[in-house]
Structure 1
């Protein structure tokens, strides 16, 4: 697998992992929310648990003190004071205290009117009161003035005030917890967003590397862990770039050797088969001119036709094999000579070359690739499209040479009918780091391109 393929595999793996797993922001948000819910539940549970103990202790203490005060303050049944009035005063005082209340009833059980007990400003809801309300305590003190029973004084625990205080604290605590949760979730999402942006920069660099831009480098992000990952990606990209350069050098060398071998084969065909075919044709011609019977003359004419066909086939094979650019001749000049040859082949078609004044020159393997591209593209147009005009252009775009062949013929062959010539152009482009664009129909013309970097 070449460098681009390895980077592509990394990108595809990253894409599959992204589809199979949750997004980081989703995980962070869900985790922060669940953590806040757990913290909220624990905090409220601890507050309510402690509040239950506090309410119970406070009410029990207040009840004990109220009982002691009533026991000490109530006059004896043999006294000469107004015992009922004194009991009313004690009950009123107890009703004004926190955590306890008192009720005064006559001998028939009818309540005696006392000042109303002050209600809390913000009473707790019933569900909280049920959670915090302790077991009620009560005690009854008879009011007797011998020998008459004047009534009873009942003292009870009343935790409403203490529960209201707990509710007031919760009303302050819950918003604080919510603000804290929002702040924590916001900070978590901000940090997650920062990490995502840094990973996004790293992913964009990987995408560019996957597209073949191995000179791209993953940026340093300021995060130590991401920087370590970026350093690893950059080291991999540098290694793959070196391997790709070496592979392209070897492929270019192989192409050059292949061209040399093609030239040697063409020379052997020209030097060995050519003279033999010429001698055969000369002998056939001499035999034909001699007196012979009609059957022999017909046979000799057939031999002459076949030998001429063989000669033309060998000549075409030699022309195909001898495509090595001439040393010392610029690429535009070689293309111009090629178009002149095509003018002799297709007299009904006009050819034009548009080349920059000083186009960049690829190396030897690149020149061979451009030369073959132009030759194969023009041949395809002549064979399949019957054009009236063919235009070849060589332009410089940055550090690349762009070769384009356009014709006004009937268009490229149907899709799926890719010849060996086009397959060869695609393979040469991949070997040299170039880019070949197949024939495309646009505005009544068919154009194909070959873009190759210049050294």
Structure 2
């Protein structure tokens, strides 16, 4: 594969997509993981603080109640109604938050207490109560009147009210924390979507450039962090466009030099081999006449006739090779004039076939490399039709395309042979088109016609001079 074919293969290669984790999925997963961890940490801290608060509150209340009962109960030697006084103290302790009190008589039976109405504590999930409930505290105080023990006052911690308060606080804080987490994740996803769209613009620009549109430029995204990347992508596109233009100029120059070399070879063949073949033909004719006059030998006459035929065949082959190598029209002729003269020559060779040339108005004039490529395309296409298709009519049409000019050669012959591979002529035309930034479409059937096309970008592109 030569350099031109390699460049064409690279420019038309399919764009491969790299699959992986998307930025949005990564941002969503990362932010969700962070907020779940933060939620767990905050919840753990709140539960630990709630447990400490319940323990401290109930402990303080228990110590105060114990001191209150100890100070207010009379001694065992006083002659007072000890059980009535103990019942009043137990009722006052029972009425306090975080505590419970029970008075039992000497037989262990509970003594009824006169208690004010009390609201039941708020229901709390058992798992939360188990996490925040401290170790229970219990104190037994004997009620005695010498020498008898009248009963027992039992004071216990009751953390249900404090646990309910802690649960109410957590029920308020955790939903707010969850709402903040969702809001933060939403902001993160919005920022990620904004960045992804900007990266998508850069990716789309790179895809356009990868597809060969090096005039396309990546738009500015409005993000300072991506500005340098955008400038770098655009600078790369400009550099690649310059390099491609330079390469196409070199390819066009190579085509021009190759055509000049073909013309030199044709001139050498014409000037060197032509006179010798003519001299050989003249000598053979002279020998034939001399042999006929002096020695009417049939074998010699037949041998000289064979030499004459071979000399004529060699002259015809040499002339065909010279005609194929030489670009017949002058350098100053326009493309339409070059093609008109070419088709006149074909009409002289095959007068029974109708060969026409149609040119649109105001066509741009290709440069030297473009004229050579288009001339060779028409010559090769018409020759192929004459040699292989047996047409009744051949039409050559020059017109404008969206991005330049196009030449179509159509014939009503038998159509292209289904060989499955391109010949040397088609390969050469494809290489010329690629070198000039154009494209070559090999022969194909369109209805009853066989059509082949050559697209040349212009004006302003390599291959055309406006």
Q: Could you say whether these structures have the same fold, taking a TM-score greater than 0.5 normalized by the shorter chain as the test?
A: yes
Query: TM-score, normalized by length of structure 1?
Result: 0.90
Q: Distance in 2 between matches of 1:118 and 1:84?
A: 27
| 2:239 is the counterpart of 1:239 | yes
Could you list the per-position Cα deviations for residues 281-308 of structure 1 after superposition, in whole angstroms to 9, with x for gaps in the alignment?
A: 2333343344242112111111111111
| 2:315 is the counterpart of 1:316 | no
Unmatched segments (≥5 aa) in structure 1:
none
Partner of 1:191: 191
Structure 1 segment 164-179 matched on structure 2, within 5 A: 164-179=164-179
Q: Distance in 2 between matches of 1:86 and 1:382?
A: 134
Secondary structure, in 3 states, of the residue corresponding to 1:447? strand
Q: Is this contact kept in 1: 2:355–2:395, CA < 8 A?
A: yes
Q: Distance in 2 between matches of 1:97 and 1:170?
A: 24
Q: Distance in 1 between matches of 2:214 and 2:407?
A: 24
Offset at residue 241 of structure 1 (A) = 1.9
Could you list the per-position Cα deviations for residues 363-422 of structure 1 after superposition, in whole angstroms to 9, with x for gaps in the alignment?
A: 110111111112222223333333333332211124511122233333333253211111
Question: 1:196–1:440: structure 2 CA closer, same or farther, 3 Å change rule?
Answer: farther
Q: Distance in 1 between matches of 2:124 and 2:366?
A: 88
Q: Distance in 2 between matches of 1:415 and 1:230?
A: 48
Offset at residue 96 of structure 1 (A) = 2.5
Question: 1:46–1:339: structure 2 CA closer, same or farther, 3 Å change rule?
Answer: same
Question: 1:5–1:74: structure 2 CA closer, same or farther, 3 Å change rule?
Answer: farther
Could you list the per-position Cα deviations for residues 121-147 of structure 1 after superposition, in whole angstroms to 9, with x for gaps in the alignment?
A: 3x2211111111111101122233555
Question: 1:401–1:280: structure 2 CA closer, same or farther, 3 Å change rule?
Answer: same
Question: 1:92–1:394: structure 2 CA closer, same or farther, 3 Å change rule?
Answer: farther
Question: 1:384–1:144: structure 2 CA closer, same or farther, 3 Å change rule?
Answer: farther
Q: Is this contact kept in 1: 2:54–2:159, CA < 8 A?
A: yes
For 2:441, which of 431, 437, 440 is the aligned residue?
437
The answer to which of 337-346 and 79-88 deviates more is: 79-88
Q: Distance in 2 between matches of 1:425 and 1:73?
A: 119
Structure 1 segment 189-268 matched on structure 2, within 5 A: 189-268=189-268
Partner of 2:461: none
Aligned positions, number:
449
Partner of 1:162: 162
| 2:452 is the counterpart of 1:453 | no
Could you list the per-position Cα deviations for residues 200-242 of structure 1 after superposition, in whole angstroms to 9, with x for gaps in the alignment?
A: 1111111111222222222211112221112112222222222
Structure 1 segment 24-103 matched on structure 2, within 5 A: 24-77=23-76, 82-103=81-102
The answer to which of 229-238 and 357-366 deviates more is: 229-238
Could you list the per-position Cα deviations for residues 115-171 of structure 1 after superposition, in whole angstroms to 9, with x for gaps in the alignment?
A: 4753223x2211111111111101122233555544322111111111112211221
Q: Distance in 2 between matches of 1:221 and 1:124?
A: 53
Partner of 1:380: 384
Secondary structure, in 3 states, of the residue corresponding to 1:140? strand
Q: Is this contact kept in 2: 1:411–1:446, CA < 8 A?
A: yes
Q: Is this contact kept in 2: 1:353–1:392, CA < 8 A?
A: yes
Q: Distance in 2 between matches of 1:302 and 1:390?
A: 38
Q: Is this contact kept in 2: 1:215–1:241, CA < 8 A?
A: yes
Question: 1:68–1:410: structure 2 CA closer, same or farther, 3 Å change rule?
Answer: farther
Query: TM-score, normalized by length of structure 2?
Result: 0.88
Q: Distance in 2 between matches of 1:330 and 1:142?
A: 130
Offset at residue 350 of structure 1 (A) = 2.9
Give me the CA root mean square deviation: 2.7
| 2:304 is the counterpart of 1:305 | no
Q: Distance in 1 between matches of 2:102 and 2:92?
A: 11
Question: 1:428–1:402: structure 2 CA closer, same or farther, 3 Å change rule?
Answer: same
Could you list the per-position Cα deviations for residues 9-51 of structure 1 after superposition, in whole angstroms to 9, with x for gaps in the alignment?
A: 9x98x956x32x4221121111111101111111111111222
Q: Distance in 2 between matches of 1:325 and 1:180?
A: 82
| 2:330 is the counterpart of 1:331 | no
